[in-house]
C-alpha cells in the first residue's frame, strides 16, 4: 500500500516535471508601460507556438538591473540604456545588448479647464514655462495669443507631475530639455527630477486623478490613460510649426520622421521629431535582448518571437492604445533581430 502511494507520488512528480520541461519558458522583466501589450503578445504567441513567457513589470530601472545581473532572458525599458550600463552588461554577461523597439507611446498634456473646451493649443516654449513656474495663469498673454478663439479665465495654473520615477517623466523631461535651455541647464532629464513647481501624483492614475479633480490643473500622462479617462488633451506645436493632436498616427509619424536620422542601434530619443505630422512627445519602448545568449535554443525562440512581434504583433497595438511602429522602423528592427546569434 505504502509502495503504491510512493509510486503514484513519484509518477506525478515526473509528469509535472516533464510537462514543465517540455515547454520552453522565457523570463523577462522591466517596463510597466508596455505591460498590457506584452501580456497580450505573450498570451497569443504561446497559444500559437507553445512557448511560455513570464514577465514581471517591475519598472524600466528594474529591467535594466536584471538584464545586467543575468537573472532574466530579456528585459524591457522605456529609457534606452547608457553606454556605461551597456558596458556593464558586456562585462558581467559577456554579451552585447540589443535595443529592439516594440511599440510607441506618447506623453500627452492633459488639462482641466472647462472654459477652454477641447483642443487647447500650446507651444513648447509655453509648456516649458508653465512647468518652470514662469507662466502661472491661464489667461497669460502667451497662451491667449495662440488660442484666439477661446476665452481663457484668470485662473491659476495648478501643475501636476509624477511623484514616482517613471519612463513617462523620462520622455517628458527629455522633450523639455530639448525645447528649453533653462530647463536643460537647471533641471535636466530623468525618471525623477527636481520639479520647480507642482504637485506629485503617484503613477499615471495619480496625475490623471489630480488633473481631473482640480479645476485649472495641467499634467502629463500616457496617451492611453488620457484616452481611457476621456481627458482633454492639448494640441502641441511640433518642430515644423504645426499644432498636432496626439493620436496613434501622429505618434507613428514621429518615428517615421526620425527614422531617416536614426542610429543603427535604435537607441534614440524621438522627442521633438521632424516631420509635419509628428507628435513632438513620442517615444519608443524597447526590449533589451542579449545578442549572444549562452542558451542558443532560447535565443532562437526569442528571435522568432521578435519577428512575430514585428509582424502580427503590431496589429494588436492600436486596440490596446499603443502606437504601432512605422514600417521604416520595422525594417531596421528586422535587421537587428537577424543579428541575434542563434547557432
Partner 1 sequence: MPPVVVSQTTMKQKTTHIGDKVFKTTTMMFALFVFALVFLMGYEMVRGSELSLKQFGWKFLTTSKWDPVAEEYGALPVIFGTLVSSLLALLIALPLSIGVAIFLSELAPRWLERPVSFLVELLAAIPSIVYGLWGIFVLVPWLRTSVEPFLIKNAGFLPIFKGVPYGFGMLAAGIILAIMVLPIISSISRDVLRAIPNSQREAAFALGATKWETTKIVLSDGKSGLLGATLLGLGRAVGETMAVTMVIGNRPEISYSLLDPGYSMASVIANEFAEATSSLYTSALIEIALILFVVTIILNVIARLIVWSITKKFKTT
CA–CA separation, 140 and 131 (whole Å): 14
- Measured from the CB atom, is 31 or 259 closer to partner 1? 31
Nearest distance from C-beta of residue 177 to partner 1, angstroms: 10
Q: Binding to partner 1 by residue 165, rule CB under 8 A?
A: yes
Which residue in the block uniquely carries the three cell numbers 506618447? 106
Using rule CB under 8 A, residue 192 touches partner 1: yes
Phi/psi at 211 (nearest 5 deg)? -70, -45
Q: Is 86 in the site for partner 1 (CB under 8 A)?
A: no
Task: Output the smallest distance, CB 255 to partner 1, in A.
Answer: 24
Q: Nearest distance from residue 92's CB to partner 1, in Å?
A: 15
8 A C-beta contact, residue 244 and residue 238: yes
**Considering the complex, what minimum distance in angstroms separates the CB of residue 163 from partner 1?**
3
CA–CA distance, 2 with 6 (Å, rounded to integer): 6
Q: How far is the CB of 289 from partner 1 (least distance, A)?
A: 20
Residue 206 near partner 1 by CB under 8 A: yes
HEC letters along 285-305:
EEEEEECCCCCHHHHHHHHHH
SS3 state at 26: strand
Residue 7 engages partner 1 in binding (rule: CB under 8 A) = no
- The span from the CA of 99 to the CA of 336, in Å, is 8
What's the 3-state SS for 233-286? ECEEECCCCCEECCCHHHHHHHHHHHHCCCCCCCCCCCCCCCCCCCCCCEEEEE
- Asked if 118 interacts with partner 1 (CB under 8 A), we say no
Q: Give the x/- contact pattern for partner 1 in 22-51, rule: CB under 8 A.
A: ------------------------------
**Of residues 36, 44, 51, 58, which one binds partner 1 by CB under 8 A?**
58
* Three-state secondary structure readout of 40-103: HHHHHHHHHHCCEEEEECCCHHHHHHHHHHCCCCEEEECCCCCHHHHHHHHHHHCCCEEEEEEE
How far apart, in Å, are the Cα atoms of 329 and each of 129, 261, 268? 33, 11, 12
Of 61-69, 104-112, 237-245, 249-257, the window that binds partner 1 (rule: CB under 8 A) is 61-69
For partner 1, which stretch binds (CB under 8 A), given 110-118, 183-191, 236-244, 321-329? 183-191
Residues contacting 13, CB < 8 A, separation 6+: none
Q: Which of residues 142-161 bind partner 1 (CB under 8 A)?
A: 156, 158
Applying CB under 8 A, does 75 fall inside the site for partner 1?
no
Contact range with partner 1 by CB under 8 A, out of 37-45, 191-199, 223-231, 245-253: 191-199
Segment interacting with partner 1, rule: CB under 8 A, options 206-214, 223-231, 235-243, 272-280:
206-214
Residue of 42, 121, 85 lying closest to 305 (CA atoms) = 42
CA distance 224 to 227: 5
**59 touches partner 1 (CB under 8 A):** yes
What residues pair up with 53 in beta bridges, in sequence order? 26
22 Cβ neighbours under 8 A, 6+ residues apart: none
Number of residues that bind partner 1 (CB under 8 A): 32
Q: Using the rule CB under 8 A, is 283 a contact of partner 1?
A: no
Q: Which is nearer to partner 1, 78 or 301 (CB)?
A: 78
Q: Which of 102, 147, 166, 232 binds partner 1 (CB under 8 A)?
A: 166
Contact positions toward partner 1, by CB under 8 A?
A: 58-62, 64-65, 156, 158, 163-166, 187-195, 198-202, 206, 209-210, 213-214
Amino acid at each position: 500500500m505504502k509502495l503504491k502511494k510512493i509510486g503514484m507520488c513519484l509518477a506525478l512528480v515526473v509528469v509535472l516535471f516533464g510537462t514543465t520541461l517540455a515547454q520552453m519558458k522565457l523570463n523577462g522583466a522591466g517596463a510597466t508601460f508596455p505591460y498590457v501589450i506584452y501580456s497580450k503578445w505573450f498570451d497569443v504567441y504561446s497559444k500559437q507556438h507553445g512557448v511560455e513567457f513570464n514577465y514581471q513589470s517591475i519598472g524600466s530601472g528594474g529591467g535594466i538591473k536584471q538584464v545586467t545581473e543575468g537573472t532574466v532572458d530579456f528585459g524591457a525599458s522605456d529609457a534606452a540604456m547608457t553606454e556605461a550600463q551597456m558596458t556593464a552588461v558586456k562585462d558581467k554577461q559577456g554579451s552585447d545588448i540589443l535595443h529592439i523597439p516594440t511599440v510607441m507611446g506618447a506623453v500627452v498634456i492633459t488639462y482641466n479647464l472647462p472654459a477652454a473646451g477641447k483642443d487647447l493649443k500650446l507651444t513648447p516654449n509655453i509648456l516649458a514655462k508653465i512647468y518652470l513656474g514662469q507662466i502661472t495663469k491661464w489667461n497669460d498673454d502667451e497662451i491667449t495669443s495662440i488660442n484666439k478663439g477661446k476665452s481663457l479665465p484668470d485662473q491659476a495654473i495648478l501643475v501636476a507631475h509624477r511623484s514616482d520615477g517613471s519612463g513617462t517623466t523620462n520622455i517628458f523631461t527629455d522633450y523639455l530639455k530639448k525645447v528649453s535651455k533653462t530647463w536643460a541647464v537647471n533641471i535636466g532629464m530623468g525618471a525623477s527630477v527636481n520639479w520647480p513647481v507642482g504637485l506629485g501624483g503617484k503613477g499615471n492614475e495619480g496625475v490623471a486623478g489630480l488633473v481631473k479633480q482640480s479645476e485649472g490643473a495641467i499634467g502629463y500622462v500616457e496617451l492611453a490613460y488620457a484616452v481611457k479617462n476621456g481627458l482633454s488633451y492639448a494640441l502641441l506645436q511640433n518642430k515644423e510649426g504645426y499644432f498636432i493632436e496626439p493620436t496613434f498616427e501622429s505618434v507613428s509619424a514621429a518615428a517615421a520622421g526620425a527614422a531617416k536620422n536614426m542610429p543603427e542601434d535604435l537607441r534614440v530619443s524621438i522627442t521633438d521629431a521632424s516631420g509635419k505630422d509628428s507628435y513632438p512627445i513620442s517615444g519608443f519602448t524597447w526590449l533589451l535582448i542579449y545578442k549572444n545568449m549562452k542558451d542558443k535554443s532560447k535565443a532562437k525562440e526569442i528571435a522568432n518571437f521578435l519577428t512575430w512581434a514585428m509582424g502580427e504583433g503590431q496589429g494588436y497595438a492600436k486596440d490596446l492604445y499603443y502606437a504601432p511602429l512605422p514600417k521604416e522602423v520595422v525594417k531596421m528592427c528586422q535587421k537587428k533581430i537577424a543579428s541575434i546569434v542563434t547557432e
